């Protein structure tokens, strides 16, 4: 620990290692920070712990047929045994495994079970995300303080709405403008179509429940490539639903297809892969952060880089880890951590509940293509006021699909009869699953292990995050309501299911370095700027004051673009 700069520049001069801005991490939020800062003329260094992944060139499975994989896309059992964590991730298989970590390479300590799903490479999880992009409504910014389960957000919907529009336009988000208050309209490309069963089911649901809307998903998919997308080198989505392999058309938004190449074109971007960020360097005389210390993942050498502003975008829990590891005489418990709350109030999404059933009829109809998006049902609980025995809301993903004939009619998955049946369409099915808000609590936290370190000498992250009775009540309500909603929609043979997943597998971890008005109860101000270290901005999930019920990444993009704009204005004024 020490405030003085014990500089590690490995032969290069400090000037050679100096930039206007440093961005830690190159995933969804880091890609946006890089684009915005480079476009505004800042020489920007992006430090990424993983390997480089170039758009198109590094998508080895993108155009492979399932018959070209030795196990038709499944992983060998030995791999599954050695990787019990990462093989649980949605979409993980032999077609996508190169974009996920291996368990043994990146250990952490689970004081309570927590499935920490990660993708360490240039592009981060932007290559493998599900791409759902609903907006928060104004009420989710108000609910935690209003209903007494959180602190007040320092910003509201009107502060972020123009930035939502801005990032939606560039990234390319499709969806319908449905005029629903709990999931506001946006700057959308044309929506995907409902299939014939969905059209009928949604009409029936709406007839019984006028406040429960089944709408087409808002998704980061180019249903139509506008000039701004063509300029990025991207084209229209071909509805093949192989997105998590990397898309040769650039049909979905990723850092690799969109923000990073755009930043590169400005001539202001330097990306340094294999750079494991160890800590942020704080200079007590200057009373600000002056750079970032990395360990080169290949040579194991520490190197320091310097910049006027630093954006933390390593993904929620890694940003917490780095900040907790950034100790100095001024901040002995982690950067900017006067409140002692860094690492606390970790929250996530409740993904435990699902419901499904069968649909009779419609045997003579099918659908075109493999739509890479789902329908959504915006939240209808505790909206505008708390009227349930739990706090927070939930949304749902849903849709109708047709099984293959083989699934119902053939018992043995082998032989000619099975092959023939595979080519025939089977029954229609309908499903629904929850994405529920969880309550940010001080007792849900991450910390640094005092004993254990990784191969680069950085303390391991300790996770201590649990579901609580509020989550159970919210889940119970969803299971009852989803069953009733499906029944209203004409779905038969309905079953509901609690998968009892541990937190983390929902892949929407948030908090630990939350925004707020009061430095005593938060780490960041309304511009995502550390209250006590003004030239450090945290714009990934670590900044979240509460989770709401909507998928979070489009909000991280909007917050990042907004914070970059503010940072550059402050730099110009000489305030940073």
Ligand X SMILES: Cc1cc2nc3c(=O)[nH]c(=O)nc-3n(C[C@H](O)[C@H](O)[C@H](O)COP(=O)(O)OP(=O)(O)OC[C@H]3O[C@@H](n4cnc5c(N)ncnc54)[C@H](O)[C@@H]3O)c2cc1C
The answer to whether the beta carbons of residues 519 and 337 sit under 8 Å apart is no
Scanning the structure block, which residue is given the tokens 């939240």? 379
- Decide which of ligand SF4, ligand X, none touches 26; Cβ closer than 5 to 8 Å per partner kind: ligand X
Query: Please, are residues 250 and 262 in contact by the beta-carbon 8 Å criterion?
Result: no
Cα–Cα distances (Å) from 221 to 174, 417, 546, in that order, read 6, 38, 27
Secondary structure letter of residue 217 according to DSSP: P
Residue nearest to ligand SF4 (CB): 251
What's the min distance (Å) between Cβ of 228 and ligand SF4? 17
Query: Are the CB atoms for 532 and 515 separated by under 8 Å?
Result: no
Residue window 324-363: x/- pattern of binding to ligand SF4, with contact defined by CB under 6 A: ----------------------------------------
The residue among 23 and 406 lying less far from ligand X, judged by its C-beta, is 23
- Nearest approach in angstroms of CB 161 to ligand X is 18
Which listed option, ligand X, ligand SF4, none, makes contact with residue 277 (CB within 5 to 8 Å by class)? Answer: ligand X
Q: Is 489 or 541 the residue whose CB approaches ligand X more closely? A: 541
DSSP 11-77: TS-TTTTB-SEEEE--SHHHHHHHHHHHHTT--EEEE-SSB---TTTT-TTTT--GGGSTTTTPPPH
Task: Please say which residue, 124 or 186, places its beta carbon nearer to ligand X.
Answer: 124
End-to-end CA distance of the chain: 24
Which residue matches tokens 């989770």?
547
Binds 241: which of ligand X, ligand SF4, none (CB < 5-8 Å by kind): ligand SF4
Alpha carbon distance 157, 146 (integer Å): 15
- Does residue 320 interact with ligand SF4 by CB under 6 A? no
Shortest approach of ligand X to residue 380 CB, angstroms?
20
> Which residues, numbered 229-258, are part of the site for ligand SF4 (CB under 6 A)?
237-243, 247, 249, 251-252
> Closest approach of Cβ 56 to ligand SF4, in Å?
12
Residue pair 115/107 in contact (Cβ under 8 Å)? The answer is no
Q: Which is nearer to ligand X, 128 or 289 (CB)?
A: 128
CB of 238 to ligand SF4, least distance (A): 4
Closest CA to 278 of 213, 317, 326, 330: 326
Helix residue spans in 287-409 (DSSP H): 316-324, 405-409
For ligand X, the closer CB: 24 or 406: 24
- On the CB side of 187, CA atoms within 13 Å amount to 15
Find out whether 145 and 496 touch, Cβ atoms under 8 Å.
no
Pair 36, 567: CB distance under 8 Å: no
Binding partner of residue 243 among ligand X, ligand SF4, none, CB cut-off 5 to 8 Å per kind: ligand SF4
Nearer to ligand SF4, 239 or 409 (CB): 239
Which CA distances in Å does 281 have to 302, 307, 335, 530? 13, 10, 9, 14
Task: Please report how close the Cβ of residue 520 comes to ligand X at its closest, in angstroms.
Answer: 26
Cβ proximity to ligand X, 281 vs 322, nearer residue: 322
C-beta closer to ligand X: residue 483 or 529: 529
Q: How far is the CB of 263 from ligand X (least distance, A)?
A: 14
Q: Using CB distances below 5 to 8 A depending on partner kind, what does residue 237 bind out of ligand X, ligand SF4, none?
A: ligand SF4
Minimal distance, residue 221 CB to ligand SF4, in Å:
6
Rounded Cα gap, residues 87 and 481, in angstroms = 31
Binding site for ligand SF4 (CB under 6 A): 221, 237-243, 247, 249, 251-252, 372
């Amino acid at each position: 620990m020490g405030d003085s700069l014990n500089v590690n520049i490995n032969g290069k001069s400090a000037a050679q290692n100096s930039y206007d801005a440093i961005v830690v991490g190159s995933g969804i939020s880091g890609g946006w920070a890089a684009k915005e800062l480079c476009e505004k003329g800042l020489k920007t260094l992006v430090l990424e712990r993983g390997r480089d992944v170039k758009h198109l060139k590094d998508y080895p499975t993108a155009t492979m047929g399932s018959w070209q994989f030795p196990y038709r896309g499944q992983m060998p059992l030995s791999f599954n045994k050695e990787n019990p964590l990462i093989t649980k991730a949605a979409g993980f298989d032999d077609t996508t495994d190169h974009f996920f970590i291996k368990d043994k390479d990146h250990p952490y300590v689970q004081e309570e079970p927590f499935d920490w799903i990660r993708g360490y490479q240039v592009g981060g999880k932007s290559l493998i995300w599900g791409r759902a992009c609903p907006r928060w409504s104004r009420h989710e910014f108000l609910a935690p303080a209003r209903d007494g389960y959180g602190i007040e957000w320092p910003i509201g919907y009107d502060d972020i709405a123009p930035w939502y529009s801005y990032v939606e336009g560039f990234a390319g988000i499709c969806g319908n403008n449905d005029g629903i208050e709990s999931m506001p309209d946006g700057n959308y490309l044309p929506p995907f179509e409902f299939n014939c069963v969905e059209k009928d089911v949604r009409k029936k649901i709406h007839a019984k429940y006028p406040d429960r809307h089944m709408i087409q998903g808002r998704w980061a998919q180019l249903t139509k490539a506008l000039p701004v997308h063509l300029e990025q080198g991207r084209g229209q989505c071909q509805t093949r639903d192989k997105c998590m392999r990397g898309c040769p058309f650039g049909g979905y938004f990723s850092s690799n297809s969109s923000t990073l190449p755009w930043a590169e074109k400005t001539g202001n971007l330097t990306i340094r892969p294999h750079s494991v960020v160890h800590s942020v360097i704080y200079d007590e005389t200057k009373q600000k952060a002056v750079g970032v210390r990395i360990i080169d993942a290949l040579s194991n050498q520490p190197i320091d880089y310097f910049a006027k502003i630093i954006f933390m975008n390593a993904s929620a829990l890694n940003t917490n880890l780095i900040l907790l590891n950034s100790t100095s005489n001024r901040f002995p418990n982690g950067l900017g951590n006067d409140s002692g709350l860094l690492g606390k109030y970790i929250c996530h999404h409740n993904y435990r509940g699902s419901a499904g059933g069968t649909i009779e009829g419609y045997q003579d109809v099918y659908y075109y293509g493999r739509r890479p998006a789902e329908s959504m049902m915006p939240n209808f609980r505790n909206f505008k006021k708390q009227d349930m025995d739990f706090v927070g809301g939930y949304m749902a993903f849903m849709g109708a699909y047709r099984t293959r004939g083989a699934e119902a009619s053939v018992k043995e998955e082998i032989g000619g009869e099975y092959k023939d049946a595979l080519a025939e369409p089977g029954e229609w099915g309908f499903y629904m699953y929850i994405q529920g808000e969880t309550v940010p609590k001080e007792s849900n936290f991450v910390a640094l292990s005092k004993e254990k370190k990784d191969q680069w000498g950085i303390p391991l992250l300790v996770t201590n995050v649990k579901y609580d009775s509020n989550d159970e009540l919210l889940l119970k309500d969803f299971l009852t309501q989803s069953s009733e909603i499906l029944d209203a929609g004409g779905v038969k043979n309905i079953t509901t299911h609690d998968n009892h997943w541990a937190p983390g597998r929902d892949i929407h971890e948030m908090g630990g370095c939350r925004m707020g008005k009061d430095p005593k109860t938060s780490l960041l101000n309304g511009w995502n700027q550390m209250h006590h270290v003004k030239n450090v901005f945290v714009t990934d999930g670590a900044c979240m004051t509460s989770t709401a019920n909507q998928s979070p990444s489009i909000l991280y993009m909007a917050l990042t673009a907004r914070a970059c704009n503010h940072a550059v204005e402050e730099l110009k004024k000489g305030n940073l």
